[in-house]
């Protein structure tokens, strides 16, 4: 079974946010070694935008060295005077298949609804670029509105729509508004990354109290639009346990559905042409 992690970060000589491992470097080789220990075949690199353009370049180095292991959802300065040209030529960069943004800064929060990024959604739709966003809470509705206006733009919701490391709730409380996200399943251009699931539970591995919610998501969106992943540098368990939580602890997820969720679906969604 092909296992592809829908989100990892790698970086050099930088400081990540507090919920990630507080180490100066998590290198290409670090990631490869940990992936091998867990039986993970490949990963989609999300260069942390807080560390600037250097992490985009480092991710490209990873793809050049290991094109069968990595591809990238990168970031750019959305206020750049050359922004439209940058998007138009994004796929010419090594391994770049699209973008990932968090809109975490105060001055970015209005971008969800004020129309200032209409040019960006349209350009990504035109150039067949995938877009992942850290949508949660009220922003789920805004995410849906963008997806409806640009039906040719494939968009996915990061971290189960629960906010990732910024979330301050767990267990039933963090999934209380899950119906808002499930309502977007009717939009064929919307998908969900099931990354970071362990961090949404206060229980111990295998976090059975949240399995019912993961099942609801897979049943609503279908396994073709649900993507296993870790964000491994902030997970409370081993990489291997992040895998087996899905492959061994969820008897309802099996066969073709399991193969899709664990990697094949995201490869197809991204249009990632992995070398043989």
pLDDT value of residue 15: 92
pLDDT value of residue 193: 98
Cα 198 off chain centre by: 15
| Residue 192 near residue 217 (C-beta atoms within 8 A) | yes
pLDDT value of residue 276: 74
> In this structure, what DSSP letter does residue 249 have?
S
pLDDT value of residue 83: 98
The total number of structural domains in the chain stands at: 1
Split at pLDDT 50, 70, 90, the class of 30 is: very high
Structure confidence by residue, pLDDT tens digits, 118-154: 999 999 999 999 999 999 999 999 999 999 999 999 9
pLDDT value of residue 159: 97
Q: Are strands 190-195 and 96-101 parallel, antiparallel or unpaired?
A: unpaired
| Residue 262 pLDDT > 80 | yes
Q: What is the mean pLDDT of residues 99-120?
A: 96
Mean pLDDT of all residues belonging to the chain: 97
Helix, strand and coil percent figures for the chain, each rounded to 5: 50, 15, 40
Task: Name the nearest CA neighbour of 147 among 155, 136, 137.
Answer: 155
pLDDT value of residue 60: 98
pLDDT value of residue 275: 87
Domain annotation covers residue 60: yes
CA dihedral 67, 226, 103, 272 (to 10 degrees): 20
- Provide the domain limits for residue 130: 4-270
Domain annotation covers residue 47: yes
d(CA 230, CA 39): 13
Give SS3 for 241: helix
Structure confidence by residue, pLDDT tens digits, 52-73: 999 999 999 999 999 999 999 9
pTM of the model: 0.97
pLDDT value of residue 31: 98
CATH at residue 56: 3.20.20.140
Domain annotation covers residue 276: no
The length of the chain in residues reads 276
Domain annotation covers residue 244: yes
pLDDT value of residue 167: 84
Domain annotation covers residue 275: no
d(CA 118, CA 116): 6
Domain annotation covers residue 57: yes
Degrees, nearest 5: CA angle 4-74-256: 20
Q: What is the mean pLDDT of residues 185-212?
A: 98
Domain annotation covers residue 148: yes
């Amino acid at each position: 079974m092909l296992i592809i992690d829908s989100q990892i970060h790698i970086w050099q000589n930088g400081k990540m946010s507090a919920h990630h491992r507080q180490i100066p470097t998590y290198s290409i080789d670090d990631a490869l070694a940990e992936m091998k220990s867990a039986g993970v075949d490949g990963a989609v690199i999300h260069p942390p935008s807080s560390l600037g353009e250097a992490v985009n370049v480092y991710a490209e180095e990873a793809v050049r060295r290991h094109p069968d292991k990595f591809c990238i959802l990168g970031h750019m300065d959305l206020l750049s005077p050359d922004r439209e040209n940058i998007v138009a030529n994004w796929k010419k960069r090594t391994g770049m298949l699209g973008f990932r943004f968090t809109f975490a800064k105060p001055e970015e929060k209005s971008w969800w609804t004020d129309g200032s990024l209409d040019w960006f959604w349209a350009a990504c739709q035109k150039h067949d670029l995938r877009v992942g966003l850290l949508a949660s809470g009220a922003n789920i509705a805004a995410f849906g509105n963008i997806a409806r206006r640009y039906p040719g733009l494939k968009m996915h919701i990061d971290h189960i729509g629960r906010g990732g490391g910024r979330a301050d709730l767990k267990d039933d409380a963090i999934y209380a508004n899950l119906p808002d996200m499930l309502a977007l399943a009717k939009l064929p251009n919307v998908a969900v990354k099931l990354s970071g699931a362990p961090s949404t539970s206060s229980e111990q591995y295998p976090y059975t109290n949240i399995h019912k919610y993961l099942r609801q998501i897979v049943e609503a969106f279908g396994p073709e639009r649900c993507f296993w992943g870790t964000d491994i540098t902030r997970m409370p368990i081993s990489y291997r346990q992040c895998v087996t939580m899905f492959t061994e602890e969820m008897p309802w997820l099996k066969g073709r559905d399991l193969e899709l969720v664990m990697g094949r679906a995201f490869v197809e969604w991204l249009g990632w042409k992995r070398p043989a």
